[in-house]
């Protein structure tokens, strides 16, 4: 079996590699055990994509599974607009575009293109405030994605080699479980 990486793990890894570990521990539990109110709200707002009810227009591909054999990535896109060739990632509330957000879109773009779709534009959409963030794509973004994939594949969870960021730790849903924040 191939060791495919879920596209969402790129964002998680950049946020904190240990969050992937905790997420894996809890993936068989009901999300109510570990999700905070922000995660619950985001999941509720994302249901229209998950159930392909964002739009009935044929120009929108919604919630499609994508993969890349080259990078051994897999995941789902939120929306691909066939007419404008725009890939759109929706989040409940976007205040800032973090590297992990953008790299998720870059990975989705790579997957779609490998599957035969043309992607001219990438965008983030903030549901709560109805704001569109049009992002620029460059070869540097692809190199960053490749670097994160390499880091994920080579990461050793037994070694504590993560720079602890108290701001991130305070906003992490696994904060109460994590011993690394105090190191």
pLDDT in tens, 67-124: 999 999 999 999 999 999 999 999 888 888 989 999 999 999 999 999 999 999 999 9
CA proximity to 59, closest of 21, 88, 30, 17? 88
Taking only the tens place, the pLDDT of each residue in 3-41 is 899 999 998 888 887 777 777 776 665 555 544 555 445
Identify any residues that bridge with 121 across adjacent strands, giving them in sequence order.
86
Q: Where does residue 103 fall: left (phi above 0), alpha (psi -120 to 50 degrees), or beta otherwise?
A: alpha
How many other CB atoms sit within 10 Å of the CB of residue 146? 13
Range 5-182 classified under CATH 3.90.320: yes
Q: What is the distance of C-alpha 73 from the center of its chain?
A: 12
């Amino acid at each position: 079996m191939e060791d495919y990486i879920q596209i969402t793990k790129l964002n998680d890894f950049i946020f904190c590699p240990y969050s992937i570990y905790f997420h894996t521990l809890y993936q068989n539990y009901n999300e109510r055990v570990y999700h905070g109110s922000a995660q619950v709200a985001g999941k509720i707002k994302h249901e229209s994509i998950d159930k392909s009810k964002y739009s009935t227009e044929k120009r929108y591909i919604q919630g499609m599974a994508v993969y890349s054999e080259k990078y051994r990535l897999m995941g789902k896109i939120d929306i691909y607009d066939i007419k404008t060739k725009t890939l759109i990632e929706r989040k409940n509330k976007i205040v800032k575009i973090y590297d992990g957000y953008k790299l998720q879109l870059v990975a989705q773009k790579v997957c779609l293109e490998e599957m035969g779709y043309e992607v001219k534009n990438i965008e983030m959409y903030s549901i709560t405030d109805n704001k569109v963030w049009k992002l620029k794509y460059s070869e540097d973004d692809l190199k960053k994605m490749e670097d994160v994939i390499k880091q994920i594949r080579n990461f050793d969870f037994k070694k504590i080699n993560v720079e602890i960021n108290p701001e991130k730790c305070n906003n992490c849903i696994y904060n109460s479980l994590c011993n690394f924040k105090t190191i």
